[in-house]
């Protein structure tokens, strides 16, 4: 049965997605045309008669040009209405089925205001986090409580020393969930208390971001419990609990905590230049749209393999104007150390959170002293 002409009331606003398509011109053109169908009707095009499904629901190739010797760049637009104005379906339109087809990479996403305005985005963003930490203009300092296997008490001792040393945000290592050696409730309570006491001594406003790994039915109660126990924010891995769970928490009237996103389990989106989604879209645009106030990513030259330009692409996507959506803190980390601070400052400027983890245990091994050195290095850069 062919699909008869349908008339649909749709706006003229279209989501624009820039794809990198591997192959020669013919192959890349076939991919572009395929995306128009695969990401929308997923149906034999020849069976759809003229009308609004063909004219408006099909993706539309807006431009097509050679990118480099092995690939072409196509901008394909989609009617905003096919997203249903929700994040889950937006993700599906961007890269749902074509994630299963090789040689297609989402490079850039341009979301019109009509669609952006359906999202609340981050509750705090750069300005809100600066207000909460009381740090008006320099980069914020962040570290992590670790390793997995320590007790809640031992982690709290670390938290106290880091806070005395002037760290702005102390997060759990993302490996800390609800293991019996340091259960979530006890850990949050002890670490929250340790940081509160340290703040009383220093006058600083250090914040604690425990790692939240709750389930759909316990997200709100776990976040509320964390807040009541002294958490100032939450560390969440959208790759694991889902971008929509981040959106839900960031938009909930029942929780009033900033969110720092962690990149765990999201690596395969960016490992190939031919497939996946660009670093800037995954760790910048999508994290921000979902409502993260800060987005952790592996800095170049550390334990991971991102390049400098991939990292600055992330920072750009965190900070560039985006309609009603607040800008957020790019948070480079992953094998960073004190001797990288000047280079990080040169790369990211002031609108960033610098995350140094294990390295603060090196050298003298005095966490307070090392944290003070970290703070001095950043303040000196002012």
> Which residue from 71, 80, 144 is spatially nearest to 111, judged by alpha carbons?
80
Looking at residues 53 to 82 of the shown chain, list those that interact with a copy of itself (rule: CB under 8 A).
Answer: 53, 56-57, 81-82
The binding track of 284-323 with respect to a copy of itself, each residue x by CB under 8 A or -, is: --------------x----xxxx-----------------
Q: Name which position in 23, 112, 147, 381 contacts a copy of itself (CB under 8 A).
A: 147
24, 25, 30, 43: residue in contact with a copy of itself (rule CB under 8 A): 43
Q: What gap in Å lies between CA 26 and CA 32, rounded to an integer?
A: 10
Is 114 near a copy of itself (CB under 8 A)?
no
Let me know the angle formed at the C-alpha of 51 by 48 and 56, rounded to the nearest 5 degrees.
95
Q: Where are the beta strands (DSSP E) in 35-139?
A: 60-68, 71-79, 104-110
244 contacts a copy of itself (rule: CB under 8 A): yes
Stretch that binds a copy of itself, among 129-137, 188-196, 242-250, 314-322 (CB under 8 A): 242-250
Work out which of 112, 128, 242, 381 binds a copy of itself, going by CB under 8 A. Answer: 242
Minimum distance, C-beta of residue 350 to a copy of itself, in the bound complex (Å): 26
Q: Which helix (H) or strand (E) holds 135?
A: none
Residue 361 sits in the site that holds a copy of itself (CB under 8 A): yes
- 32/91 with CB nearer a copy of itself: 91
Contact partners, residue 169, CB within 8 Å, separation at least 6: 133, 140, 141, 142, 143, 206, 207, 208, 209, 232, 233, 260, 294, 353
- The sheet with strand 234-236 has its strands ordered as 234-236, 259-261, 294-298, 329-333
DSSP state of 223: H
Q: Of the listed pieces 16-24, 111-119, 132-140, 168-176, which binds a copy of itself according to CB under 8 A?
A: 168-176
- Contact criterion met (CB below 8 Å) for 61 and 31: no
Which residues on neighbouring strands pair with residue 68, listed in sequence order? Answer: 71
Q: Rounded to an integer, what distance in angstroms lies between the CA atom of residue 236 and that of residue 172?
A: 10
Does 112 contact a copy of itself by CB under 8 A?
no
By CB under 8 A, the residues from 183 to 222 that bind a copy of itself are 213, 215-217, 219-220
Smallest separation, CB 216 to a copy of itself (Å): 4
Is 365 a binding residue for a copy of itself by CB under 8 A? The answer is: yes
> Out of 23, 112, 128, 358, which residue is the one contacting a copy of itself (CB under 8 A)?
358
Q: Residue-wise over 11-41: b if at least 16 C-beta within 10 A, else e?
A: eeebbbbbbbbbbeeeebbebbbbbbbbbbb
CA distance 373 to 341: 11
Please list the residues that pair with 21 across neighbouring strands. 72, 104
Which residue, 154 or 312, is less far from a copy of itself as judged by CB?
154
Residues numbered 9-28 forming contacts with a copy of itself, rule: CB under 8 A: none
138 or 263, CB closer to a copy of itself? 263
The piece of 84-92, 110-118, 123-131, 308-316 that touches a copy of itself (CB under 8 A) is: 84-92
Q: Is 3 helix (H, G, I), strand (E, B) or coil?
A: strand
Among 114, 177, 185, 197, binds a copy of itself (CB under 8 A): 177
Residue recorded with tokens 């889950």 = 88
Q: Which is nearer to a copy of itself, 101 or 376 (CB)?
A: 101
To a copy of itself, the closest distance from the beta carbon of 120 in angstroms equals 13
Query: For residue 257, which of 285, 283, 225 has the smallest C-alpha distance?
Result: 225
* Candidate residues 29, 60, 264, 310; the one interacting with a copy of itself per rule CB under 8 A: 264
Report in angstroms how near the CB of residue 27 gets to a copy of itself at its nearest. 13
Q: How far is the CB of 62 from a copy of itself (least distance, A)?
A: 20
Q: Measured from the CB atom, is 3 or 67 closer to a copy of itself?
A: 3
């Amino acid at each position: 049965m062919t699909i008869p002409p349908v008339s649909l009331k749709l706006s003229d606003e279209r989501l624009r997605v820039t794809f990198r398509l591997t192959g020669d011109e013919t192959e890349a053109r076939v991919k572009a045309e395929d995306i128009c169908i695969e990401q929308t009707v997923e149906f034999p095009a020849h069976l759809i008669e003229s009308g609004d499904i063909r004219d408006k629901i099909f993706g539309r190739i807006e431009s097509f040009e050679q990118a480099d010797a092995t690939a072409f760049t196509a901008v394909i637009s989609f009617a905003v209405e096919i997203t249903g104005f929700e994040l889950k379906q937006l993700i599906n339109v961007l890269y749902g089925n074509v994630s299963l087809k090789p040689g297609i990479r989402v490079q850039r996403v341009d979301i019109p205001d009509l669609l952006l305005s359906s999202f609340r985005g981050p509750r705090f963003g750069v300005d809100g986090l600066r207000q909460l930490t009381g740090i008006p203009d320099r980069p914020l300092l962040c570290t992590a409580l670790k390793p997995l296997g320590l007790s809640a008490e031992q982690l709290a001792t670390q938290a106290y020393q880091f806070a005395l040393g002037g760290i702005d945000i102390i997060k759990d290592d993302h490996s800390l969930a609800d293991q019996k050696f340091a259960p979530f409730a006890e850990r949050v309570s002890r670490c929250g208390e340790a940081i509160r006491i340290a703040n009383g001594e220093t006058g600083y406003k250090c914040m604690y971001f425990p790692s939240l790994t709750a389930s759909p039915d316990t997200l709100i109660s776990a976040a509320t419990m964390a807040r009541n126990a002294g958490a100032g924010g939450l560390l969440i891995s959208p790759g694991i609990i889902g971008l929509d769970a981040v959106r839900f928490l960031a938009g909930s009237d029942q929780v009033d905590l900033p969110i720092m996103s962690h990149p765990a389990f999201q690596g395969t989106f960016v490992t190939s230049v031919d497939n996946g989604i660009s670093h800037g879209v995954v760790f910048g645009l999508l994290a921000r749209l979902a409502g993260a106030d800060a987005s952790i990513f592996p800095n170049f030259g550390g334990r991971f393999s991102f390049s400098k330009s991939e990292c600055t692409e992330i920072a750009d996507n965190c900070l560039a104007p985006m309609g009603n959506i607040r800008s957020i803190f790019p948070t480079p980390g992953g094998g960073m150390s004190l001797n990288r601070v000047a280079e990080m400052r040169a790369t990211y400027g002031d609108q960033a959170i610098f995350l140094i983890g294990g390295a603060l245990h090196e050298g003298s091994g005095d966490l307070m002293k090392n944290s003070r050195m970290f703070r001095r290095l950043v303040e000196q850069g002012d």
